[in-house]
Amino acid sequence: MSDAPVLDLATIRHGCAHCSLQQLCLPAGINPTELQQLDDIVRRRRPVARGERLYRPGDALTAVYVARDGAFKTVSISEEGEEQVVGFHLPGELIGLDALGAGTHRCEAVALTTANVCEVPFDQLATIAAQLPSLQHQLLRVIGQSVGRDQDHLGMLVRRQAGERIALFLHGLSERYRNIGQSATQFKLPMSREDIAHYLGLALETVSRGFTRLQEEGVIELAGRRVDIRNPAELNRLAHSAEHEEPRRSARA
Q: Which residues bind DNA (CB under 7 A)?
A: 159, 161-163, 189, 192-194, 201-209, 211-212, 222-225, 244
**What residue spans of 30-121 are helical by DSSP H?**
32-41
Query: 120 to 139, contacts with a second copy by CB under 8 A?
Result: 126-127, 129-131, 133, 136-137
CA angle 79, 98, 75 (to 5 degrees): 45
Position 154 contacts a second copy (CB under 8 A): yes
Q: Using DSSP, state whether 1 is helix, strand or coil.
A: coil
Cβ distance to a second copy smaller for residue 44 or 153: 153
Cβ distance to a second copy smaller for residue 147 or 251: 147
With CA atoms as reference, report the closest residue to 198 among 76, 41, 47.
Answer: 76
The single-letter code of the amino acid at 130 is A
Q: How far is the CB of 119 from DNA (least distance, A)?
A: 26
Q: Using DSSP, state whether 16 is helix, strand or coil.
A: helix
Q: Is the dihedral of CA 11, 16, 17, 19 positive or negative?
A: positive
Q: How far is the CB of 205 from a second copy (least distance, A)?
A: 13
Query: 6 to 45, contacts with a second copy by CB under 8 A?
Result: none
Q: How far is the CB of 155 from a second copy (least distance, A)?
A: 6
Residue 209's binding partner among DNA, a second copy, none (Cβ under 5 to 8 angstroms by kind) is DNA
224 and 165 Cβ atoms separated by less than 8 Å? no
Q: Total residues contacting a second copy (rule CB under 8 A)?
A: 46
Position 181 contacts a second copy (CB under 8 A): no
Residue 224's binding partner among DNA, a second copy, none (Cβ under 5 to 8 angstroms by kind) is DNA
Q: According to CB under 8 A, which one of 79, 81, 250, 252 is a site residue for a second copy?
A: 79
Distance CA 178, CA 164 (A): 21
With CA atoms as reference, report the closest residue to 39 among 118, 116, 145, 122.
Answer: 118
With CA atoms as reference, report the closest residue to 42 among 73, 19, 74, 58.
Answer: 19
CA 162 to chain centre: 21
Cβ distance to DNA smaller for residue 126 or 157: 157
Please give the DSSP secondary-structure letter assigned to residue 142: H
Binding stretches for a second copy (CB under 8 A): 76, 78-80, 82, 84, 86, 97-103, 106-107, 126-127, 129-131, 133, 136-137, 140-141, 143-148, 150-151, 153-155, 157-159, 198, 201-202, 240-242
